[in-house]
């Protein structure tokens, strides 16, 4: 019988661009307790990177603040909450639209939320103007046997 995985972690760091990779790698190391594929690990790292970058660029803009990450493992699911106490988002629905950006002068595509949504099973954004934003990302990891069956089916359809 497989051991039931339950664990959690909390991390706080300054909203410096250099800390984005630290956050991504830390969450990836924590998530690796699950039996994930390289693709699933890459999806989690990319989503975390996008969320942290949003906190730095949009949440705190030209000032420093604290970014918090809380992650929980339950069975084969990881739940990651990334939050800031920055300026908040006036219209979350509009911000989630592909290509929408409040920083057109930066080389950013306005695809952060879209990327998070596509790489994770679910994404929830909560924000209060003047108080900050919290993004909750959830991903359920397929068991290796399910992944192998899925890959086999893709190969046999070609």
pLDDT by position in tens, the chain (length 158): 455 779 999 999 999 999 999 999 999 999 999 989 999 999 999 999 999 999 999 999 889 999 999 999 999 999 999 999 999 998 888 887 766 666 656 555 667 888 999 999 999 999 999 999 999 999 999 876 554 555 555 676 65
Q: From the candidates 20, 24, 40, 54, give the one annotated as an active-site residue.
A: 54
Q: Is residue 116 part of a domain?
A: yes
Question: Quick one: pLDDT at residue 1?
Answer: 47
Question: Quick one: pLDDT at residue 93?
Answer: 82
Q: To which residue do tokens 């594929």 refer?
A: 37
Q: How far apart are CA 56 and CA 84, in angstroms?
A: 9
Residue 42 belongs to a domain with what CATH number? 3.30.565.10
Is 66 strand, coil or helix?
Answer: strand
Q: Is residue 114 part of a domain?
A: yes
Q: Is residue 35 part of a domain?
A: yes
- In the residue annotation, 54 being an active-site residue is answered as yes
Question: Quick one: pLDDT at residue 113?
Answer: 87
Q: Is 13 left (phi over 0), alpha (psi -120 to 50) or beta?
A: beta
Residue-range definition of the domain harbouring residue 11: 6-157
Helix (H) / strand (E) element for 13: namely strand 6-14
Question: How many structural domains compose the chain?
Answer: 1
Question: Quick one: pLDDT at residue 109?
Answer: 67
Q: Is residue 1 part of a domain?
A: no
C-beta of residue 100 within 8 angstroms of C-beta of residue 110: yes
- 113 token code pair: 């939320």
C-beta of residue 7 within 8 angstroms of C-beta of residue 73: yes
Helices (H), the chain: 19-31, 38-54, 92-95, 112-119, 144-157
Q: Is residue 23 part of a domain?
A: yes
Q: From the candidates 40, 108, 153, 158, give the one annotated as an active-site residue.
A: 108
C-beta of residue 113 within 8 angstroms of C-beta of residue 124: no
């Amino acid at each position: 019988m497989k051991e039931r995985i339950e664990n959690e972690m909390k991390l706080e760091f300054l909203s410096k661009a250099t800390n984005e990779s630290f956050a991504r790698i830390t969450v990836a190391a924590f998530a690796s307790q699950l039996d994930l594929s390289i693709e699933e690990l890459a999806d989690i790292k990319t989503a975390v990177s996008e969320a942290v970058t949003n906190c730095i660029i949009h949440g705190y803009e030209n000032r420093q603040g604290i970014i918090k990450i809380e992650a929980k493992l339950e069975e084969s699911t990881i739940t990651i909450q990334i939050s800031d106490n920055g300026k908040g988002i006036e219209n979350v629905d509009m911000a989630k639209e592909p290509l929408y950006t409040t920083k057109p002068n930066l080389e950013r595509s306005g695809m952060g939320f879209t990327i998070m949504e596509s790489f994770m099973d679910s994404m929830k954004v909560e924000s209060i103007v003047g108080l900050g934003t919290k993004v909750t990302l959830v991903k359920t990891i397929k068991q290796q046997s399910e992944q192998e069956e899925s890959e086999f089916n893709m190969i046999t359809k070609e």
